[in-house]
């Protein structure tokens, strides 16, 4: 049986990451791998309820962080860990890097508290330490370009409606996470045409011998 793979997609709102998840799923299907597509916050009935609260209900940064990690714990236990144990490929739209970027850098919440919550929530037996993605595909985009892409797309949620300065802090938060774990991150310049962005994603995954 093939070993399970856990790949996450990260980036500020409007970076275009979600458009490439299905393409990567198809690429893994083409080589005979079973794929689980999921997202955070969300992925389970409970986590989806918490997602609705996080995206729409006013709350302070600590409450927001606790909601995110509560959803993540259920998601890990109910979806991610069982899929990895089966040898599946898990493709997840956002994971803990988003919490450090949005709640940490964006909201200005204490990074040490987030690190403590990360240890509590992601300490699962099968990982032998903290469960982290095998690869994080980071779609790096200038917040000004992201704002142009989002303008008029749909009714924004609590995060999408934040000012550009907020997303500048979030983008820096992602850069800081990538600097702290460069082997895990695949940085994608997301200001290019879609075909070029997808080619960079595919080549990055293929270079790791997974396709």
| Contact predicate 146/167, CB 8 Å | yes
Which residues sit opposite 33 in a β-bridge?
none
Dist. CA 34–CA 43, nearest whole Å: 17
| Contact predicate 37/123, CB 8 Å | no
Residue positions in the annotated binding site for ATP?
11-18
How far apart, in Å, are the Cα atoms of 108 and each of 98, 104, 111, 112? Answer: 13, 5, 8, 12
| Contact predicate 13/94, CB 8 Å | no
Residue positions in the annotated binding site?
11-18
């Amino acid at each position: 049986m093939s070993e399970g793979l856990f790949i996450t997609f990260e980036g500020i709102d409007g970076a275009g990451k979600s458009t490439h998840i299905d393409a990567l799923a198809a690429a893994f299907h083409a080589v005979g791998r079973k794929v689980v597509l999921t997202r955070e916050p969300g992925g389970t009935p409970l986590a989806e309820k918490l997602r609705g609260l996080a995206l729409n209900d006013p709350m302070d940064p600590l409450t927001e962080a606790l909601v995110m990690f509560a959803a993540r714990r259920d998601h890990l236990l109910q979806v991610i860990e069982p899929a990895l144990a089966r040898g599946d490929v898990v493709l997840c739209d956002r994971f803990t890097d988003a919490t450090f970027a949005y709640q940490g850098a964006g909201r200005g919440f204490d990074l040490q508290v987030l690190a403590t919550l990360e240890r509590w929530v992601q300490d699962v037996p099968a990982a032998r330490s903290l469960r982290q993605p095998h690869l994080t595909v980071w779609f790096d985009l200038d917040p000004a370009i992201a704002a142009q892409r989002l303008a008029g797309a749909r009714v924004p949620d609590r995060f999408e409606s934040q000012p550009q300065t907020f997303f500048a802090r979030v983008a820096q938060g992602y850069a800081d996470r990538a600097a702290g774990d460069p082997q895990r991150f695949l940085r994608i310049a997301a200001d290019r045409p879609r075909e070029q962005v997808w080619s960079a994603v595919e080549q990055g995954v293929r270079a790791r011998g997974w396709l």
